[in-house]
Amino acid sequence: MALFGGVLRFFRLDQPRAVVFDETYYVKDAWTMLMTGEARDWPENVQVNGVDTPVNTLFAAGDTDHWLAFAEYVVHPPLGKWLIAVGLKLFGGAGNIAAWRISVAVAGTIAIILMIRVALRLFHNLPIAM
C-alpha cells in the first residue's frame, strides 16, 4: 500500500512546471525562510524589461530574488514550510520544481506507513489495516 501511495506521489513530481494552488504561499515562504529565517511577503507582479510579469512565473523559472522587506502574514504553523525548505536545500533550490515537492511526497508516503501501523494495532487484522 505504501509503495503504491509512494508511486502516486513521486510519479511526475515536477509536473506541472509552475507554481500551483497553495504553492504560491508555501513554496515562496519556504524559500524566504531558508534564505532569511522568516517568511517574507512577495509582490504579485514585478517589472521585467518594462513588462509586468507575475512573480510566480519568475519563481518557477528560478528567479527568486523578488521578496519584500517585510514579513508575510502567517496563518499556519511553519512545519510544512520547513519541510519544503529542506527539499529546496537538498535538491537544487527553487530552480528544481521537484525540490519544492519531494519532502512533502516523502512525508505523505511515511504517513501511509504510520496509518497502516496504527490500524494494525487497533484491529489486529492486516487486511482491515490496509
Question: pTM (2 decimals)?
Answer: 0.87
Mean pLDDT of 84-105: 94
SS3 call for 121: helix
Name which of 89, 20, 81, 91 is nearest 56 in CA terms: 20
Q: What residue segments make up the domains of the chain, in order of their start?
A: 2-129
pLDDT score at 76: 86
pLDDT digits (tens, 9 = 90+) for 36-71: 999 999 999 999 999 999 999 999 999 999 999 999
Number of C-alpha atoms within 13 angstroms, CB side, residue 111? Answer: 8
* Cell numbers standing for residue 84: 519544503
pLDDT digits (tens, 9 = 90+) for 26-35: 999 999 999 9
